[in-house]
Structure 1
Amino acid sequence: MKKDQLFTRRRVLIAGAGAVGAAGTAAALGLGGGDEAAAPHTLPAAGPQARPALKPSAYRLQPLTGYGPPRSTPGRTVVRHEPFLRMSGRGRTMVLTFDDGPDPRYTPHILDTLAEYDVRATFFVCGEQADWNRDLLGRMADEGHVVGNHTWSHPLLTRLTRSRIRSEMERTSDVIEEAYGERPQWFRAPYGAWNRAAFQLGAELGMEPLAWTVDTLDWTTPGTRTIVHRVEEGAAPGVVVLSHDAGGDRSQSVRALKDYLPQLLDSGYHMTVPTRRYA
């Protein structure tokens, strides 16, 4: 770069900052903000820059995604031998997850309840459902929820070939990326049936395996009160709650969420979403 160009840029910087000293101070503050963004419990050191802090809420922890998903997955994903069953976090945090959707009959009601209490959740979607209901994935992205991969057609992975498992995962990740805005970072095996291929292929596609701690068994339609009781009895720091928003009549699941969510919040629990730790 020529000397006169450097001099011109310096004059512009001085004029914009007001003085050389002020410009230096502003630069120092800018670096400080970057360091804070990379601190633990916000974003990984290798990740993208943090988004502006959300308005504090007594009922919500700020998730990794902020108001929208990050546009890239930094680092590499380790091949694990078992799924995560719970999440670590500060205080009395819990993770709510919903499988098999989205379903236009039930998912919007669940999203409405979560929005009412300013809470975020994780939705493990099936590709064939997501493909028909892309608008609901768009709403999940807009409202800060996490969308995970639950295969295309909800098969038993332990009975499939490696190539078929990859197809089930990859097709679903493609639809999620198109409708949600990023490829999923979490994967859940249908029926909780994991095998070596599922762990390996999930990692190759940039996904971590997440299971659950508390199973509401809502797919058996045991009654709204029973579902509520199972969630409240299983509530504890770090637990992951499994419910469903599709795959059958999920009206009990919808009503149960309206009941147990405010009770958990009043008891001091915070609903959050899973965060990644990259290698």
Structure 2
Amino acid sequence: MRPAPAPPADKPIKLSRKGPAKVFSAVPTKEKIVFITIDDGAEKDPKFVEMARELRVPFSMFLMDDAVRTNYGYFKPLQALGNHIQNHTLNHPVMRSLGPEGQKRQICGDQSILERQYATKPFLFRPPYGAYNLATQEAAAACGIHGIALWHESMQIHDMQYDDPAKKLHPGDIVLAHFRGPKELKGSTMTQMFAAMLKKIHKQGFAVARLEDYVRPPA
């Protein structure tokens, strides 16, 4: 794949400590770039680590503790490649079904574990199923997270689902994928799914950029 252009010095998404966390599903840009995000963490395929090392395609990992706790170490080589670790709750509830304190427990609990395991402080949150409300935004902010990242496309097994009825990517779109294996992918592997996603992105003339290079955390 062609490399992404250098990110702008003035990051287009600016997060603030004031008020609820900012919600976004794309990055304002005219460049033909998209951003890959990978959720959960249940599948821990060593061949995907090899693939990531070889291709050096950036992605963001939104990790959920119930999925990653069996092997926290798996994600450290991926992090060492420059791929950021972000927050995705303790055990993947529908956030809107929880009260404010329940939402805070989910986000702050995962935040504490991710900080301890990966020596990093996530500044983005992804609500499971994309379901959130104002209490989610306020809970994220209370846990030190001021951005909520949604998506416009999601990668399934070999096909991509689009918000756009024309089934096209748009500059700045966020693409959702998951750490999944043959059981969830009907026999396909994580590496096969990722390769199919890259092929679809490349075919439409897009490059893959690092989401965190376009988001400015609060000072």
Length-normalised TM-score, structure 2: 0.78
Paired position in structure 1 for 2:3: 59
What is the deviation of 1:230?
A: 5.6
Check 1:81–1:167 CA distance in 2 against 1; reply closer, same or farther (3 A cut).
closer
- The answer to whether the 8 A contact 1:97-1:240 is kept is yes
For the pair 1:155 / 2:93, whether they are aligned, the reply is yes
Structure 1 range deviating more: 267-276 or 177-186: 267-276
Which residue identity does 1:236 align to in structure 2?
A: H
Which residue identity does 1:104 align to in structure 2?
A: K
Question: What is the SS of the residue equivalent to 2:192?
Answer: helix
Check 1:238–1:78 CA distance in 2 against 1; reply closer, same or farther (3 A cut).
farther
Of the three residues 115, 122, 135, the one matched with 2:60 is 122
- The answer to whether the 8 A contact 1:102-1:129 is kept is yes
* Structure 2: gaps spanning 5 or more residues: 9-14
Aligned mates of 1:103, 1:147 — CA distance in 2: 16
Aligned length: 204
Aligned mates of 1:77, 1:122 — CA distance in 2: 22
Paired position in structure 1 for 2:12: none
Paired position in structure 2 for 1:169: 107
Paired position in structure 1 for 2:184: 249
- The answer to whether the 8 A contact 2:64-2:89 is kept is yes
What is the deviation of 1:268?
A: 4.1
What is the deviation of 1:122?
A: 0.9
1:130-145 map, 5 Å: 130-145=68-83
Aligned mates of 1:117, 1:262 — CA distance in 2: 13
For the pair 1:274 / 2:211, whether they are aligned, the reply is yes
Which protein is richer in strand relative to its size? 2
Check 1:82–1:241 CA distance in 2 against 1; reply closer, same or farther (3 A cut).
same
Question: What is the SS of the residue equivalent to 1:237?
Answer: coil
Which residue identity does 2:25 align to in structure 1?
A: L
Check 1:183–1:215 CA distance in 2 against 1; reply closer, same or farther (3 A cut).
same
1:215-254 map, 5 Å: 215-216=154-155, 218=156, 223-224=157-158, 226-227=159-160, 233-246=167-180, 249-250=184-185, 251=188, 254=191
Which protein is richer in helix relative to its size? 1
Length-normalised TM-score, structure 1: 0.63
- The answer to whether the 8 A contact 1:84-1:211 is kept is yes
What is the deviation of 1:58?
A: 4.4
- The answer to whether the 8 A contact 1:59-1:117 is kept is no
Question: What is the SS of the residue equivalent to 1:95?
Answer: strand
Which residue identity does 1:277 align to in structure 2?
A: R
Check 1:192–1:204 CA distance in 2 against 1; reply closer, same or farther (3 A cut).
same
Give CA-to-partner distance per residue, 1:247-274, whole Å, 9 cap, x none.
9614365413213414534754221222
Question: What is the SS of the residue equivalent to 2:23?
Answer: coil
Q: Percent identity?
A: 21
Paired position in structure 2 for 1:211: 150
Question: What is the SS of the residue equivalent to 1:99?
Answer: strand
Which residue identity does 1:190 align to in structure 2?
A: P
Check 1:163–1:214 CA distance in 2 against 1; reply closer, same or farther (3 A cut).
same
Give CA-to-partner distance per residue, 1:61-112, whole Å, 9 cap, x none.
5679xxxxxxxxxx8534347620101346211001111214224xx44443
Paired position in structure 2 for 1:32: none
Of the three residues 99, 103, 107, the one matched with 2:39 is 99
- The answer to whether the 8 A contact 1:102-1:133 is kept is no
For the pair 1:196 / 2:130, whether they are aligned, the reply is no
Aligned mates of 1:235, 1:151 — CA distance in 2: 28
Give CA-to-partner distance per residue, 1:140-172, whole Å, 9 cap, x none.
220111211110000011111222211111121
